Amino acid sequence: MTRAAFLGLPVSHLFDRSNPTTNELIRMADVLEVKNPDPPSFLPPEIPRVFHWGYGVVEDDFKDQFPPVKAHLEATRPALFSCDLGPSARRHEGVMPLSPILGAKAIRERAKSNMKLLRTAYDGPVGLENYNFYPTGLYNLVCDPDFIAEFLEKFNAGLVLDLAHAAISAVNMGFDPFYYLERLPLEKVVEIHVSRPYLPAEPRRLGVDTHEYPEEREWAWLSFVLERTRRAGLKPIVLIEYYKDLEILKESMLRLARELEVPEEPAQAQNFTRLHMPPSRYAAPKRFGA
Ligand SMILES: [Fe+2]
């Protein structure tokens, strides 16, 4: 058996080196996702890394907080840089905007400026993560699948598909999660995030991003997407965004490893050198080159 995707592990600031489970989780991963320019020093250097930044590509903070990230990217050349696709305002607190809501043109201009800044430090593949929609104005346009598809095309970026965000967006906009997933540009998926959100049973209430461990509903979303990424010849990174209990995370990662198993195909990539990205004029970092 081989895997239809790379098994990723987000490196949480909660990871405690003295807990043996931390080491087990790290050793299970094909790839580590670092979220901070100052990651723990005990991460094994031989496991490939990608970098995910918590700021949206439209935000003022992207530029303001960039200097340490720039230094980190230049020093480590991660195989993928990702951040959030949006939001629709330059400043916010939680789900509430603190500055005017931007239209499509202004959103793209802000992103262009921040992407230009990113390219001063990093020439590798970029992924952008879908947000979860709340009706506050902060998520206008940026959760619309057509807008997402156009945006990724314009910036030559892959989709970091957060399944919980997609399901919350769907429910909060009045759609079925599978209908919403189907409308996203799944042919551009480079990474998938799995966790269990709160979705209300009653209409007119809002879903919430609770980051619980995945259950059958979430595995069904994942297999729906993996079926399509496999058909598109993609091999994304899949990781679980759950941090509350490392033993439960370990169980979830074992389940994820089973979910990713597919019969061996000789032509299929066996290692991280074949992370499939959208066509890019930016060369993959040489250390991961095939
Ligand atoms: Fe995520």
CA 188 – CA 166 distance, rounded (Å): 15
pLDDT at residue number 265: 65
Low-confidence ranges of the chain (pLDDT < 70): 265-290
Cβ contact 226:268 at 8 Å: no
Instruction: State both tokens at 284.
Output: 């993959």
Cβ contact 88:97 at 8 Å: yes
Q: How far is the CA of 59 from the centre of ligand 1 (A)?
A: 17
pLDDT at residue number 288: 27
pTM comes to 0.91
Q: How far is the CA of 220 from the centre of ligand 1 (A)?
A: 17
Total number of residues shown for the chain = 290
DSSP assignment of 40-99, as one string? Answer: -TTS-TTS-EEEEEEEETT-HHHHHTHHHHHHHHHHH--S-EEEE---SSS-EETTEESS
Instruction: State both tokens at 38.
Output: 């100052």
**3-state class (DSSP) for residue 160:** strand
Cβ contact 271:2 at 8 Å: no
Reported as half-sphere exposure (CB side, CA atoms, 13 A), residue 71 has a value of 7
Reported as half-sphere exposure (CB side, CA atoms, 13 A), residue 155 has a value of 32
Q: How far is the CA of 149 from the centre of ligand 1 (A)?
A: 18
Q: How far is the CA of 86 from the centre of ligand 1 (A)?
A: 13
Q: How far is the CA of 266 from the centre of ligand 1 (A)?
A: 32
Number of domains in the chain: 1
CA 16 – CA 19 distance, rounded (Å): 6
CATH of the domain at 18: 3.20.20.150
Burial zone of 102 (CB within 10 Å; 0-12 exposed, 13-18 middle, 19+ buried)? buried
Q: How far is the CA of 132 from the centre of ligand 1 (A)?
A: 10
pLDDT at residue number 290: 25
Q: Residue 161's domain spans which residues?
A: 2-288
Q: How far is the CA of 54 from the centre of ligand 1 (A)?
A: 9
Ramachandran sector of residue 27 (left: φ over 0; alpha: ψ -120 to 50; beta: rest): alpha
pLDDT at residue number 16: 82
Cβ contact 25:43 at 8 Å: no
Mean predicted lDDT score pLDDT of the chain: 91
CA 77 – CA 81 distance, rounded (Å): 9
Q: How far is the CA of 180 from the centre of ligand 1 (A)?
A: 17
